[in-house]
Chains A and B, each alone.
Chain A
Amino acid sequence: MSEIKDIDALRAQLDGTRGKEYWRSLEALSGTPEFKEFLHREFPQNASEWLDPVGRRGFLKLMSASLALAGVSACTRQPTEELVPYVRQPEELVPGKPLFYATAMPFAGAGMGLLVESHEGRPTKIEGNPDHPSSRGATDLFAQASILGLYDPDRSTTITNLGDIEPFSAFVVAMRSVLAAQLSKKGAGLRILTETIASPTMAAQIDDLLTRLPAAKVVQWEPFFGHNAREGSRLAFNEYVAPQYAVEKADVILSLDADFMCVGAAGLRNARAFASRRRAENTGTRNRLYAVESTPTNSGSRADHRLPLKASQIEGVARALAAKLNVPGVAAVSVSGEAASKFLESLAVDLQGARGKSLVIAGDSQPASVHAVVHAINAALGNVGQTVSYTQTPEARPGNQIASLRELVGEMNAGTVDFVLILGGNPVYTAPADLKFGDALAKVRLRAHVGQYEDETAEKCQWHVPEAHYLEMWSDVRADDGTVTIVQPLIAPLYGGKSPHEILAAFAETGGGERPGYDIVREYWAKQTGLSTAAPAAPPVVVAAPVPAPAAPKAPPAGAAAGVGAGAPAAAPAVPAPIAAAPKPALSPFDLAWRKWLHDGLVPGTAFATRQVTLQGAMPPAATPVGDGLEVVFRPDPAVHDGRFSNNAWLQELPKSLTKLTWDNAALIAPGTAKRLLLISGDVVELKQGGQTVRIPVWLAPGQAADTLTLHLGYGRTRSGRTGTGIGFAVNALRTTGAPDTLAGVQLTKTGDNYELACTQDHGSLEGRNLIRVATQAQYTADPSFAAKMQEEIPKTLTMLPPRSYEGYAWGMAIDQNVCTGCNACVVACQAENNVPVVGKSQVANGREMHWLRVDRYYTGDDPDNPDTYHQPMPCQQCESAPCEVVCPVSATTHSDEGLNDMVYNRCVGTRYCSNNCPFKVRRFNFLLYGDFTTESYKLQRNPDVTVRSRGVMEKCTYCVQRINQARVASKLDDREIRDGEVVTACQSACPTEAIVFGNLNDPNSRVSKLRANTLNYRLLEELNVRPRTSYMAVVRNPNTTLEPAKPTNGEERG
């Protein structure tokens, strides 16, 4: 409009000129300010430039420059970021050098003491805490895999209320209003459902809440572990106590359906203790393990005598044994079957002969009455105080969880519950099917769920709050022996998760609802210890640094600095600093203690004292009637447990120790029973009982009891995450409160369908090969070097080359098969340490799994329903004359002067000839792009010292060469040799039984050299002259000669 106006004005101006005043062009007119104005209106900024031949070029330059700059800045203003280097570098933080922090992993009602490796603030690897009584430096597979869980991109990230994202303050406000409403009712409508509480702070918070709201109830539900043991102890002693086993003191051990070395809070401790009597270098008497079990367990695979028996018949065995041992109050029961009665006969004699040095352990899945009988047997054998002692339970509030859950469901159905807070766990998925927990939950008016995933339970609740991972929160937890570890965070919550303490703080009287977990835990412990939190007024000039580096029998990988939480300074040699050291704040008495607890990973003096218990006179009646027909036993999945780890790809892809299945669960069935029912592995069957059916493929499991199907829980999740959703088969439908462990009278129908299961080891037989060398104690005593004699004769003219000599270090590994339980902790540890990718079910089914370390499982013996089982961890053997090296056309795998087969990823073109020529088939090939290069959160987990391999590249075990090099750097700084035990490979460090020993073969005093010199030492496939650096210890079994008459050394493996 204005232009038109201007043109009008121009016209007016032209009109206003007198006579013939010509204008030739616009140029002529442009002298007038009006016209200039006009032009500037039309080309607002650079109009005049167009008219200027020189200026136009300038304009174009400007234009292009501004366009380019517009492209750079895009639409958003970049935030001002300032890179600020450390003015004072924190003493313990050296980029590239990991720090280790002590913490603990709470799991199923107990804690496991850990050291967590942290690279520049990223936790990357879990190690056991050598000072911690329950782990002694080892870990189990769940702890190893939990680091991946921390970085799981599928964890819930936001607090939601009916799907809407809310701030935490809104949640607190909602909780405060619930609290206000409940105060008048004394909490009659308030229910809190948690997992088993093993945190003293949390127990105190709950106690505080229940004092104020006495009518409120806290219900605990843990799908596995402890139900029967708890009730068994109450039956036997009329109080809840926890048996603490001293397995190392026992000469004769009987396990009744117990996987006491691999499962449960004391598993690691028991395994270490058991191994101490079985090692190759063991000079004392070997212990003897009898196992009576319904389904093969890892502990059972180490048994000298194993009796597969239906779960319901095991009680009969326990009672018959008790009667034979003259346990008062137990009626004699006859045991059917010749094998079983002979077994029992010899067992009773053996146990009698080892009074005070024997031990009977009942498994979690055996009914409470069996636990009670076992307590009585141990008492009758004089084991109490010797091999078994009793303490209070590590869980803070022991009780009958099944009964209280049933009660909760009743109340929810009755509508008397106004609000339920589900604090951890996934009860909608894990609760026994007959409770119909999900339906009952839906009847509660207000429901809140705190969990790491938006899972089946979160789906049914209005509120969902992301729960912090244990590596993200402040907490505390008791180990099975009572020792408390302060759980300290390694990283700020990645997804804004809240710890249970912070959630419960919303119900606290003080603190206004929102309190950091740090304060809550500290406050509890300050109160508990009575130490003052006030700093001394006049601080001394130098505060003694209260943190010695952890002096441990099994140190964390060398070169690692010992760090402590909360930025406490570590003791360091006084070096003149260019910049003055930061002023050290004076520490209160509590802080001094607190920092030591954090550093050591445990609170001293918190282990439980032994408690005197008295047996109740009468033994309870037998709980389970011995039924005919098929029986189902329920177990947590060996890899994903009750389903809580189902989104953890490492655990999904982990070959389950005894079946070697990945990515699925299957109903385990004895080969004999399968033959009778015309079933083969993979056949889908329908299991029916009480109107409930489960469809699941069967898997033939040698060692399984006849007519018994083992169903593993944890699969068939409907809301797990991109890894765990929809895989496997949900078996929860058959599990009821009445039969949570063993279900009798199951009907099996063959559907005719077949389901492909991805198994990593198709072949369990040794095919008569001398790969596993076994002798009995008698044979070993007669001929200690039997293993060498099983070696095929090696031709003397095998090679014309002189043996290669190794100056300096010669790394080697010795694996003691006597103590390997096949627990799989090493496999996951290797995966975590070496950035081993996950490939998925279809790739595993095609034989392309990437694990650098596999644990081979072989069966020997004549009876497929009760074979001897052996585990053989198989890392790269690091052959001295390695067949892989000579065939690589580009020298991508070469020999180091310390004897390692190094893999040069950058040079590898991927011909796979090395793998073809590897007699052990330990090489792994990236057939496709298996490494995850895109998921941001997983990038944080990666070990920065190990390359993430790309497509088309061969990879394999390196003996953790990065750890060797860290130790080398550390030793060179000190101008010394690397000490024995300074290099600890990831598998070795995780191993609960210390079956893996690594070290320098050139050092005659190293542990590995000594093992090498042991007569049990042998190397695989020696006749090929590959000269492996990894050697194995032959197995010495310790059978009872009355059950297994002595045979002369046969010189052949029993295949």
Chain B
Amino acid sequence: MAAKEHVPDHEELALMQRTPAVIAPGHTFESVTDSISSIVLTKRTTIGWFFGFALAFMFLMVLNMTIGKLLLEGIGIWGNNIPVGWAFDIINFVWWIGIGHAGTLISAILLLFRQQWRTSINRFAEAMTLFAVACAAMFPLLHTGRPWLAIYWLFPYPNTMGLWPQFRSPLIWDVFAVSTYGTVSALFWFTGLVPDMATLRDRAQSKAARVIFGMLSLGWRGSARHWQRYEMAYLLLAGISTPLVLSVHSVVSFDFAVSVLPGWHATIFPPYFVAGAIYSGFAMVMTLAIPLRKFYGLEDFITMRHIHNMTKVMLATGMIVAYGYANEAFFAWYSSNAYEAYMMLNRMTGPYAVFYWTLIAINAVMIQLFWFRKIRENIPLLFVLSLLVNVGMWLERFIIIVTSLHRDFLPSSWDMYYPTRWDFAMFTGTIGLFFSLFFLFVRFLPAIAIFEMRTIVPEAKLKQHHG
């Protein structure tokens, strides 16, 4: 178990005995750099990659077609109606934004908390964040009736008419929250990539790769001054990102909490949404990490330790989410408000009850499996469970949005919502976009932070001890 090159201190030893290592034994600076950079630079692109990318790209084209039809005909191609003014559009928005949260949490908060195990998953988790935000940001724009106007009227820009957005509207807060989030995530991700770009530049075989990576590495030479500034910038960005983990989904939850609708108007929404976001985000990281480590032989870097830790985070946040469900039900009764009570009853026994109970089964019951070590170590099962968690979290948004809207105050306006094929096309289309970007990412950029991995090989510790 223990590394041969150095004598581990007792702290490390203790850690290693309890849990698997964050990097498999036997790795050196060279082997780490080789195995990660080779994916980009030397290894042949596999048939599997082409197949996967083609599939994802096909769905991306479905997205393009859907957006084309949407712009030509209007959002009436979806199933939204009155009273259900929001449906798949906002469900998908919240779902994607939520997924993004794990990336930021891993890169920023775990960095500040000096959780070394984040190192091997933070890069692709950040990429996941970025791509998820890209998917998410599409919906608030495209769900509007007139996106060609919404795209700039929602931003506060000085104009001769003196017209400003309405700052009391949570949708405006959303615009700020999501655009800030997108910008900071992109910066954070790119900053983290710079030293690795330099590595790739140095090891690139082809001229084109050298030029491209050379430009992207922004003249990185690895000097001590560079490292010093890099560390400071990265830490600052981590500091900026950290509140975003909490704020973005809190703001998203305000879209609902600020309204008067039973089922939306709840003070628990911000923490409940943030926990849900992290929960679903880690599920997505797991969904991506399990095949990634398998197909690219990265088991040495994404080890069982990571898997364990991620399931634990999911267990914790999943329990918060389950508490949120219990809380909603409790207050529906405790408030003795007829509308709240009916809302809860309708969720449990109404026409969409099957979705509510599926959601409870996944997010409150199934999650308890993560208490068991055996389950935490069963990789194929974890893959399935992580997919189910994503389904559960999507259903949670469906329940919150659709069941609250479809039966509110006046029974006369109650109606049902049924999605159309274009609702599904739009949703699967964004999944296609997400995976297209992700496939390109793992092929053309180091999916694991090489230089950060180098800091956790035993060699680095040795130097530390001796230097």
What residues make up the interface of A, taking CB atoms closer than 8 Å to B?
A: 761-769, 771, 792, 843, 846-848, 854, 856-858, 872, 874, 883, 886-891, 907-913, 915-917, 919-921, 923-929, 951-954, 1020-1021, 1024, 1026
Contact = CB atoms under 8 A, between A and B. Distances in A.
Most buried by A among B85, B153, B407, B414: B85
Given A920-B409, A1021-B409, A888 B169 contact: yes
Nearest to B175: A889
A42 B69 CA distance: 56
Given A883-B259, A952-B144, A952-B146, A912 B410 contact: no
A902 to B, nearest CB: 14
A771 B414 CA distance: 14
Given A953-B146, A1020-B410, 14 more contacts: A762-B416, A769-B411, A847-B81, A847-B84, A848-B82, A874-B410, A908-B146, A910-B146, A911-B143, A915-B82, A916-B83, A916-B85, A921-B82, A926-B74
A763 B255 CA distance: 28
A923 B83 CA distance: 9
Contacts of A768: 338
A890 B154 contact: yes
A919 B408 contact: yes
Contact of A913 (B79, B171, B409, B415): B171
B297 interface: no
A926 B412 contact: no
A911 B166 CA distance: 13
B426 to A, nearest CB: 15
A921 B171 CA distance: 20
Q: Is the interface of B mostly helix, strand, loop or mixed?
A: loop
27 contacts: A763-B414, A766-B411, A767-B342, A769-B409, A846-B81, A847-B81, A856-B413, A874-B410, A887-B168, A889-B165, A890-B150, A908-B145, A909-B149, A909-B154, A910-B146, A911-B143, A911-B144, A912-B86, A913-B85, A915-B83, A916-B259, A917-B260, A920-B410, A927-B81, A928-B76, A952-B75, A1026-B260
B414 A951 contact: no
Given A909-B146, A910-B145, A921 B416 contact: no
Given A909-B150, A910-B144, A889 B172 contact: yes
Contacts of A872: 412
A651 to B, nearest CB: 21
A924 B338 contact: no
B163 interface: yes
A887 B170 contact: yes
Most buried by B among A843, A891, A1026: A891
A919 B409 contact: yes
Most buried by B among A856, A920, A927, A951: A927
B405 interface: yes
Contacts of B255: 913
Q: Is the interface of A mostly helix, strand, loop or mixed?
A: loop
Contact of B259 (A767, A911, A917): A917
Contacts of B84: 847
A916 B169 CA distance: 13
Interface string B403-438: 001011111111110100000000000000000000
Nearest to A917: B259
Contacts of B338: 768-769, 792
A889 B251 CA distance: 14
A915 B408 contact: no
Nearest to A887: B169
B83 A909 contact: no
Nearest to A849: B82
Interface of B: 73-77, 79-86, 143-147, 149-150, 153-154, 163-166, 168-172, 175, 255, 258-261, 338, 342, 405, 407-416, 418
Contacts of B405: 916
A881 to B, nearest CB: 10
Contacts of B408: 919, 921
B146 A891 contact: no
B166 A848 contact: no
Given A762-B415, A891-B166, A928-B73, A919 B410 contact: yes
A768 B411 CA distance: 10
Closest A-B pairs by Cβ, 10 of them? A910-B145, A952-B145, A927-B76, A847-B81, A912-B85, A928-B76, A921-B413, A856-B412, A889-B171, A909-B150
Contacts of A858: 411-412
A890 B73 contact: no
Contacts of B258: 886-887
Contacts of A766: 411
A763 B259 contact: no
Nearest to B77: A928
A716 B149 CA distance: 44
A857 B418 CA distance: 24
Contacts of B414: 762-763
Contacts of B260: 883, 917, 919, 1024, 1026
Nearest to B401: A916
A759 to B, nearest CB: 10
A761 B412 contact: yes
Contacts of A848: 76, 81-82
A245 B73 CA distance: 54
Contacts of A888: 166, 169, 171
B410 A846 contact: no
Contacts of A762: 414-416
A1054 to B, nearest CB: 15
B422 to A, nearest CB: 12
A891 B338 CA distance: 32
A762 B154 CA distance: 36
Most buried by A among B171, B409, B410: B410
Given A888-B166, A912-B86, A771 B144 contact: no
A843 B76 CA distance: 9
Nearest to A910: B145
Contacts of A761: 412-413
A891 B82 contact: no
Contacts of A1021: 409
Contacts of A883: 259-260
A838 to B, nearest CB: 14
A274 to B, nearest CB: 25
A929 B81 CA distance: 14
Contacts of A1026: 260
Contacts of A913: 85-86, 169, 171, 255, 259
B150 A891 contact: no
B83 A847 contact: yes
A912 B413 contact: no
A874 B412 contact: yes
A854 B146 contact: no
Contacts of A920: 409-410, 413
A891 B163 contact: yes
A907 B162 CA distance: 13
A927 B80 contact: yes
B412 A854 contact: yes
A872 B409 CA distance: 14
A1020 B410 CA distance: 10
Contacts of A764: 411
Contact of B410 (A921, A923, A928): A921
Contact of A886 (B76, B169, B413): B169
Nearest to A660: B412
A915 B85 contact: yes
Most buried by B among A768, A843, A890: A890
Given A762-B414, A767-B411, A890-B165, A847 B82 contact: yes
Contacts of B144: 909-911, 952
Contacts of A928: 73-74, 76-77
Contacts of A887: 168-171, 258-259
B79 A909 contact: no
A919 to B, nearest CB: 4
A883 B265 CA distance: 12
A1021 B338 CA distance: 12
A1024 to B, nearest CB: 6
